[in-house]
Chains A and B, each alone.
Chain A
Amino acid sequence: MGMDCSSDRFSDNSAAAVNDPKLSKPLNEMAKIMPFIRDESLGQLSDSAAAVDVSANIRAHTLAHLDFYLEQFERNVIAGGGVVHWAEDAAGANEIVLQICREKQARLVTKSKSMVTEETELAAALENAGIRAVETDLGEYIVQLRKEKPSHILAPALHVSLDEVTDAFLEHHKIERDGPPETADELLAEARQILRSDFINADVGITGANFLIAESGGMVLVTNEGNADLTACIPDTQIVVTGIEKVVPTFEDAGQLLRLLARSAIGQRLSNYTSLYHGPKQGGEFHVVLVDNGRSSMLGTDYQDMLRCIRCSACLNHCPVYSAVGGHAYGSVYSGPMGAVYTPAFAGLAVAKDLPNASTFCGRCADVCPVKIPIPKLLRYWRRDEFSRHLTAKPYRFGLRCWAWLNRYPVLYRKGLSMLTRWLSRRAVNGWLKRLPGVAGGWSDSKDLFVSEDKTFQQQYRERQSKP
């Protein structure tokens, strides 16, 4: 499949993550602050619900006519002097990028954030080809030094403390210093200094794209640091690697989505730098690599709406599960609610089935999605697929089938529940049960259960009704 992942270790990873005190501080802060600033910034709009409706319609319309808009985009890129490449999968995407780099005899490449290149593991492919690829987004840079994967799509180093950043810089930056960089200001100054020469000396710049504009063949890049712009502007050759679903029809469409993107993501009206690039620099080259990697296979299925995603990360920031475990536990490029829908599509349900199951269906993600993706419904569809493909863990499948079976026979159902209630109440002490058996045992790992009576409601009700 198109993406490697270790999501099958979610159960163990998540259990460990909730006990990791280093994770809980940044996650709790994020969970507290992000909803507040998003709310505030949405309140600036004259009608935020209408803005969301318009945005959802833009994405839905585009997906329903993806071929039309991709063709228009391609025509306009070519007319503007650029080149369009098509990659069906991760290997194909990497090969195209490597080929361009070889032609340019690139030794050093700067990279700005592109989740698609994480899917394809492009950085590793470049390293293997002897090309040094430097992640320029500070958070991505930090995780690159630490040889880790990002843990949040916008804040890749959310899980890394300042001390750990200092350690990573001390280990990897061979420069003269008065003392170790400790404060955020010192670390930033050092990162700025180190990355500066890489920006300037890069042979090729590889960026992602937040949006592709069909009407003009342009691409939109959104950052707060400006690293994507340094990556796009300085080298003569720019390569844009992005998913086929990123295209939007017009500038107005892009603008409407941009209004919601920064607000949903970080509570800002716009991010610091919103840039549009069209075609090559004078004497340079402009390549767009359009990557499928499982996306077109989602079209025309129950999961199509997920492709509306504009990667704002609001769903991560509002999710009780993500805020409890962080991004790494998901074992995938994409974490949180959107990751729980995408990962089974890109990496296969067999390895990723825990992700759609690890949701309480609270629905907050769907509430905050700026393009109205019905995430809980999509997670439920994955569970339905899991069940129909017999991938559900056996005890749960058995339990569900028994429950449905029992429900057909009212007398058995009522008697069965009566027996259960009586049995539970006998084991309770002052009404409290400390241990539950079988699949329910997980409950009693950390909670008690209060059992108030020894007869079910239906049992008692019938008894009362039959009294003279």
Chain B
Amino acid sequence: MKDAKQGSAGRAGLFVTCLVDTLRPKVGFAAVELLESAGYEVVVPSQGCCGQLNYNNGDTRGAAEMALKAARDFAEVDYVVVPSGSCAATIVKHYPEMFPSGSAEHAEVLSLANKTYELTVFLHEIAASAPVEVTPQEDSDSAGGSTLAYHDGCSGLRELGIFHQPRALLESLPGVAVAEGMNPETCCGFGGTFCVRYPEVSANIADKKCAEVIATEADCLVSGDLGCLLNIEGRLNRRGEPVKALHVAEVLAAKKGGSR
């Protein structure tokens, strides 16, 4: 294992996730920035998909291959940080299920699982230094001075217990409050392939979540899962009720437009 840079809290590998990679790169950059501000040396190895799609849809062999690759891609880091509750849950909870206990592959993915954290969990519980530094921004891309409607992705909530961590981090930002009225127990209707295979049912479920969002009258919809975020913002836009929507990493990093 390469030694971490001197003075850093350790080598943190960013597992960017295929959705963020393709559809919201600025979330990845926000995550890098947050980890660097927290004192970590950030590494972004060449990487692929966590395999959740394959695992959840019955291609267990394909998923196992993807899991092993991920373990190897991230072998040289101390921590693996994931800006997605569902991808983190796949790695932490499901990778070890994919191989027989006692096998070499099981040991490899278990080693990965043991050092993998969802982003807000990492920042709130693991990051050694003080809470995320925030330079208050006046511009519109930040969420300073706002009420946020926070949506909990079901996987992160139920499989990893992610609930108070993002809220604690968000509410430590000056002028930011998490709105009441969102129901953390109810699904947004994304569900991976579910939303394209059963689109009418998905839209019906999404509508109920959209109603919650609108009722909060919040300035911004925020989530730690990009799939959920795309689902809710996409439905709201189609309904002609667009709402500003940001990933929690973006809010915490409070930067403009994605570039340094």
| Residues of chain A at the chain B interface (Cβ within 8 Å) | 11, 14-15, 18-19, 35, 318, 320-321, 324-325, 357-364, 366-367, 380, 383-388, 392, 396, 400-401, 403-404, 406-408, 410, 413-414, 417, 420-421, 424, 432, 439-443, 445-453, 455-458, 460-461, 464
Main secondary structure of the interface of B (DSSP, over half): helix
Q: In whole Å, how far is A390's beta carbon from the nearest beta carbon of chain B? A: 10
Is residue B146 within 8 Å, beta carbon to beta carbon, of the partner chain? no
Interface size class of B (residues with CB under 8 A): 35 or more
- The interface residues of chain B lying within 8 Å CB-to-CB of A358 are 194, 197-198, 201
Q: In whole Å, how far is B220's beta carbon from the nearest beta carbon of chain A? A: 14
Among A321, A388, A464, which residue has the most Cβ atoms of chain B within 10 A? A321
Q: Which residues of B, 62-95, contact A by the 8 Å Cβ criterion?
A: 62-63, 65-66, 69
CB <8 Å contact, B59 and A401 = yes
Is residue B131 within 8 Å, beta carbon to beta carbon, of the partner chain? no
Is residue B48 within 8 Å, beta carbon to beta carbon, of the partner chain? yes
Given that A396-B57, A403-B54, A456-B25 are contacting pairs, would A324 and B65 also be in contact in the complex, using a CB cutoff of 8 Å?
Answer: no
CB <8 Å contact, A384 and B60 = yes
Q: Which residues of B, 191-208, contact A by the 8 Å Cβ criterion?
A: 191-206, 208
- Cα-based distance from A383 to B57 in the complex (angstroms): 6
Is residue B168 within 8 Å, beta carbon to beta carbon, of the partner chain? no
CB <8 Å contact, B196 and A442 = yes
Main secondary structure of the interface of A (DSSP, over half): helix
| Pairs A–B under 8 Å by Cβ, sample size 30 | A14-B200, A320-B189, A325-B204, A359-B191, A360-B192, A361-B56, A362-B191, A386-B58, A387-B60, A401-B59, A404-B61, A407-B66, A417-B18, A420-B22, A432-B237, A439-B196, A443-B234, A445-B203, A446-B235, A447-B234, A447-B238, A450-B233, A451-B23, A452-B23, A453-B25, A457-B16, A457-B20, A457-B21, A458-B46, A461-B44
Given that A363-B155, A446-B238 are contacting pairs, would A18 and B201 also be in contact in the complex, using a CB cutoff of 8 Å?
Answer: yes
- The interface residues of chain A lying within 8 Å CB-to-CB of B186 are 320, 364
Q: A404-B62, A439-B196, A440-B196 are in contact. List 14 more A-B contacts (CB 8 A).
A: A11-B198, A14-B200, A360-B202, A362-B191, A383-B58, A400-B53, A400-B57, A400-B58, A407-B48, A424-B22, A452-B23, A455-B25, A456-B22, A461-B28
A-B contact count (CB 8 A): 207
CB <8 Å contact, B65 and A392 = no
- The interface residues of chain A lying within 8 Å CB-to-CB of B46 are 410, 414, 458
- The interface residues of chain A lying within 8 Å CB-to-CB of B245 are 450
Which 7 pairs between the two chains have the least Cβ-Cβ distance? A360-B191, A387-B58, A404-B62, A442-B199, A447-B234, A383-B58, A457-B25
CB <8 Å contact, B62 and A403 = yes
CB <8 Å contact, B199 and A443 = yes
- The interface residues of chain A lying within 8 Å CB-to-CB of B23 are 421, 424, 449-452
- Cα-based distance from A396 to B190 in the complex (angstroms): 17
Q: In whole Å, how far is A108's beta carbon from the nearest beta carbon of chain B? A: 42
Among B62, B195, B258, which residue has the most Cβ atoms of chain A within 10 A? B62
Q: In whole Å, how far is B136's beta carbon from the nearest beta carbon of chain A? A: 24
Q: Which residues of B, 101-159, contact A by the 8 Å Cβ criterion?
A: 154-155, 158-159
- The interface residues of chain A lying within 8 Å CB-to-CB of B49 are 403, 407
CB <8 Å contact, B185 and A417 = no
